[in-house]
Every structure is written in C-alpha cells, then in structure tokens.
Structure 1
Amino acid sequence: MQIAIFGRKFNPEYFSVIENLIRILEAKAETFYIYHNFLEFLRSEISFKIPVKSFQNHHEIPPSCFCMISIGGDGTLLDTLPFIRNSGIPVMGINTGRLGFLSSVSTDEMEESVQALFDGRYRIDERSLLMLKSGEKKLFGSFPYALNEVTVLKRDNTSMISISAYVDECYLNTYWADGLMVSTPTGSTGYSLSCGGPIIVPDSENFIITPIASHNLTVRPIVIRDKSIVKLKVQGRVKSHLIVMDSRTVPMENPVDLYIEKAEFKVNLICIEHNDFFKTIRNKLAWGFDKRN
C-alpha cells in the first residue's frame, strides 16, 4: 500500500501526535510519498521505518496511491488539489488547524479514524470543482480549478471594482463592490459564508454567487444550478484586480472577461463513517449550544 502525505509546518506541540500518526500508517503502508518541504520538516523530529519518497509535483505521485493524507487545516487540504488533480486519489484531512470543515478528523479522533480507513469503514464524498477560463489567457497554469471558490477582488485599498455577471449569457447584475465570488457547495462554508452566503449541502448541484462588501445593500447572494456558465466582466478605475482560486492568487489587468463553469472531474474526499456534514456544521458552528441549557 502506498500513501501520500501533504502538509505545512505546524506548531511543534503536534509533533508527538503526528509521529503517532506515522507509526499507525506504517503498520499498513509499504511506501510513503511525502511533499518535499514537509518531509524535511518532519525529519527534524521524526524517523521513518518504511521507504519514503518525496514529491514536488503531481507527476511524482503514483496514481495507485491508496490515499492522500492532508495534515493541517482546510487551506492545507485545498493545497493538495494541484498534486492529485484528476487522479481519483481520495484525500483525508487531519485537522491541526482551526475550524476545519474539509479537514474534519480531529487529532483526538485520529487513531480511530485511521483504523476505520484501513477497515473500509468510510465513504467517498465526490466534490465538484470550478474551472476558470479567460479567452486565450492561461490563468493558473495547467490547473485552473478550485474546490471552494473563484474570487475577483480589488487590489490593496483601491476604489471599488465593477463586475457585471451573466448566467448562461443572461444578464444578472452589475456589482459595485470590493469583489465577487462564485462558490461550490463545498465552498459554501468558507469565504462565502463569511460574506453572508448560505450553507449548501455538499452533494447539491448548485453554485453560489456572493458579493463582497457591495455598495448596494439590497444585493444578496444568489444560488444557481451548477450546469450554468457564469461570465464576469470586470472593470474599474485602477488598472488591475486580483483573481483568487482557493488559496492561489494572480493579478489581472482591467478590463477582462472571465468564464466559470463546473469542472469535468471531481475530487474524492474520505468521510469516516461516524462523521457526516450535519454533525460537522453543528460542532464547528456551535449550533444548538446555549448557556441556558
């Protein structure tokens, strides 16, 4: 069994927890494929008992890998996408971050969850992705995909930008705002939620268009079907703005037309049998917790 591991530097207090995770995985795995920078960080405190290979791009991860383990928060799990791409390798997130909707396995549940993974007591959640196009421009290299959202933002403290949105070539609205995002159901618990967007269950076939600090207070987020193609025409008084796909950012000159649609493949997330989406949002958002109870 081959297991890939991705992560970023974490608080040193987690080293004992992660070493325990490595020992549990070593009981089943034959080879580890670990992200190069993370491997160097781990080797400062942890030794390995099975062969370890490093990777720096998606070509260096065999498609036969049993799974990818993401160690960190939701941002870390999002960073695994350019490495797994459309390989179908499922991802399980171990949460050493803060809130963690995607990295839903806490360190307290880690041993039980990994054992459930090896025992086959899990399901695969297929999550939709967004694909971004802009005419002949090559945005975000060979991986113009996002799991959470595609966001258009003004740069620095510049004036508002104007974003005209079309759904399947049907004019929706022109937003004067700090920005606008198109989110997947997965992304509905991310940036969109912070901007007043609704929570949508992961298997819904929808997108959310959410304005960011709109100058018109009556403008609200809107839910559309995910078979739609969203066109954004971006303009502004300044020469450029930012385009963000999950955690990746590129500057873009004004004016520009952007096209956002559902990707042709999905990402597989591992969900351990005792976890479900409603349990996650109850716990993470403290629904039902009241000091009067």
Structure 2
Amino acid sequence: MVKVAVYSQFQKKKPLASLEVLLDVFQKKNIEVVIEAAFYKGVSPKIEADYATFITLDNSFDFLVSIGGDGTILRAITLVGDLNIPIVGVNTGRLGFLATIQHEEIEDAIQNILDKNYSISERSLLTIKSSEDNAEINTCNFALNEIAVSRKNTTSMITVETELNGEYLTSYWSDGLIISTPTGSTGYSLSCGGPVITPNAASLVLTPIAPHNLSARPLVIEDSTVITLKVNGREKEHLVSMDSRIATLTNKTTITIKKAPFTIKMIVLNNETFLDTLRKKLLWGEDKRN
C-alpha cells in the first residue's frame, strides 16, 4: 500500500479545501495517509474521519504532500532531511516555484504520481557551521533556498569578509550577503538583483544585500566551493538566516558554508518544466506588444 505524509503550516480556508480534496482522492485510491500532528490538531474538528499523525518522519513514506506555498515546502524539508522522501507541493500561496500543483489539478496530479508519470528533480542544499556554538544552527543546519547574513538591531551597514576555498574574495560593505542555491535563485537572491539559475546547474550565487560599494555584483561560483564568512559592524551581533529560520551570532564568528552531502527530491509532473514555470510565475512574455 502506498503511504503518504501530508504537511501544512496553516489552517486557513485554502489549505483546508485542498486537504479535503486530497483526503477524498487518497480514500478512493486506498492510500494510507499520515498527517503532521500540529496541522492535524488545527483541522481535525473540520474533517470527518480520523487519521494517524506524525511528529517526525521515517523512510517508510512513499512521498510527502506539502499544502501551501514555497515557504511551506521550505519548512517541510526540515522534516524530510536526508530521508530521500520525494516532495510534491499543492500551491495555495502566490508564486509557487516549488509548489506548482493548483487546487483544481489535485486529483489528476495524484493519479499521475501513482501512474509514475513524473520525474524527480534533485535539489542541492547548503550546510552551515559556525565557530560559535549555536542551538538554532546545531538543531537544523541546512537550507534549500539560501543562507544569508544580515545586520541586527541597527540601521548601519555591516562588513562581510568573504573567502572562497580559503582565498580572500572581498569584504562586502552592505546590509548583508546571500548565498543561494539554484533553487533559491528565484527567491531572496532574485529580489536583490541576483540571476536566475536553472535547478540542475552545479552553481551557487553570492548576492550582496544593498551594497554600498557599487562595484559589488552577484557572483556565480561552483557549488563545490567552501565559503567562509566573518561579519563585523557597530553592533556586537548579526543575524544568520537558513531559509526561514533565524539565528543570532556574535560578530567575527567564523561561518563556513558549503554544499550539503544530500539532496531534496522534488516530484515534477511530466507536463511541467522549469522554463514553463518561469514564464508563468514571472510573467515573461506578458507584454502588450506581443
């Protein structure tokens, strides 16, 4: 029997409506469903049947369905980790570069997954290690989209001393620095002027946040590069974000960032492509002159 995990962050109307459709489809297909415990607690009074729940995952699951936007998938990967459980996203958010299945497409999408009409897109991740012992980083030290350093409790810029494979690159005088994977290139990095990178490219991008040295530009590097950062500024501390999770570090702490030894597996239906998603989500070609 196929076993599926279901995860969402919120109990809003859209996720609940998509959950109801999913549960109906799973029941018809005789699929075993296990719902994330916190999500189930919020929605259980509104659904008829009782379901098993999970707090942590194991490798007995065939795939995980994330209901929400891309941010929900970023939360879901903290549960999946290195278990190699494929993830598919039902989009109830806005852009949805990762969560691409629309509400009205749920039943067809699940049938296609059961019929093996899909491919797996392996997405690289970043890991972070700091010379300062930090509970937030030690608990979950990887990110799918990006790892960023930024200022804290100040309007003053910070200096981000940056080395690549032990060789000094530059000191960014800015609000911070983003180290992005190809998956994250359509997120925070893009908002700060970084390039779009196709998911299978073996690259990372360094994107400064509002740099004062105007010659500083986004830099694309090999994903085998080990990146070392040290932050200094008027305040004694700065922030480090790993996707949507934030930690505070003391200035001059050595931060080491590199490609993770495992990947996240995203289910891509055969009627989907990254370029098609780009055109839809970024409205490329949506010009009255066309």
TM range (shorter): over 0.9
Change beyond 3 A, Cα 1:254–1:136: closer
CA contact (8 A) 2:230 2:251 kept: no
Q: CA deviation at 1:247?
A: 0.6
Is the counterpart of residue 53 in structure 1 residue 52 in structure 2?
yes
The 3-state SS of whatever aligns with 2:198 is coil
Partner of 1:189: 186
**Is residue 2:73 matched to residue 1:77?**
yes
The alpha carbon displacement at 1:14 in A equals 5.1
Q: How many corresponding residue pairs?
A: 288
- Residue 91 of structure 1 pairs with residue 94 of structure 2: no
Kindly report which structure 2 residues correspond to 1:115-264, keeping only aligned pairs within 5 A, or say none: 115-135=111-131, 137-138=133-134, 139-264=136-261
- TM-score norm. by structure 1 comes to 0.94
What is the TM-score with the length of structure 2 in the denominator?
0.95
How far off its partner does 1:37 sit?
Answer: 1.4
Cα distance per residue 1:267-288 (max 9 Å; x no partner): 1000011001000000000001
**Cα shift at 1:17:** 3.5
Deviation string 1:240-271 (CA, Å, 9 cap, x unpaired) is 11100001001111121100001111110000
What does 1:13-24 correspond to in 2, within 5 Å?
A: 13=14, 15-24=16-25
* Residues 167 and 231 in structure 1, CA contact (< 8 A), matched pair in contact too: yes
Partners of 1:235 and 1:256 within 8 A in 2: no
| 1:236/1:255 contact within 8 Å kept | no
1:53, distance to aligned residue in structure 2 (A): 1.9
Matched-pair contact (CA < 8 Å) for 1:2–1:29: no
Deviations 1:19-50 (Å, cap 9, x if unpaired)? 112111223354322111110222132123xx
Note the residue ranges of structure 1 that are not aligned, 5 or more in a row: none
Cα separation, partners in 2 of 1:196 and 1:207, compared to 1, 3 Å: same
SS of equivalent residue, structure 2 residue 193:
coil
Match of 1:2 in 2: 3
Residue equivalent to 1:274:
271
The offset of 1:142, in angstroms, is 3.6
Q: Give the RMSD, CA atoms, in angstroms.
A: 1.5
Task: State the partner residue of 1:109.
Answer: 105
Give the secondary structure class of the aligned counterpart of 2:254: strand
2:52 partner letter:
K
| Separation (CA, whole Å) in 2 of partners of 1:225 and 1:248 | 25
Write out the 4+ residue segments of structure 1 that deviate beyond 4 Å after TM superposition: none
Query: One-letter code of the match for 2:40?
Result: L
Distance 2:175 2:132 in 1: 26
Deviation at 1:136, TM superposition (A): 6.0
Deviates more, 1:162-171 or 1:35-44: 35-44
Shift of 1:158: 3.2
- Contact 2:97 2:277 (8 Å CA) reproduced: yes
In structure 2, what residue type is equivalent to 1:108? E
Kept in 2: contact 1:163–1:176 (CA 8 A) = yes
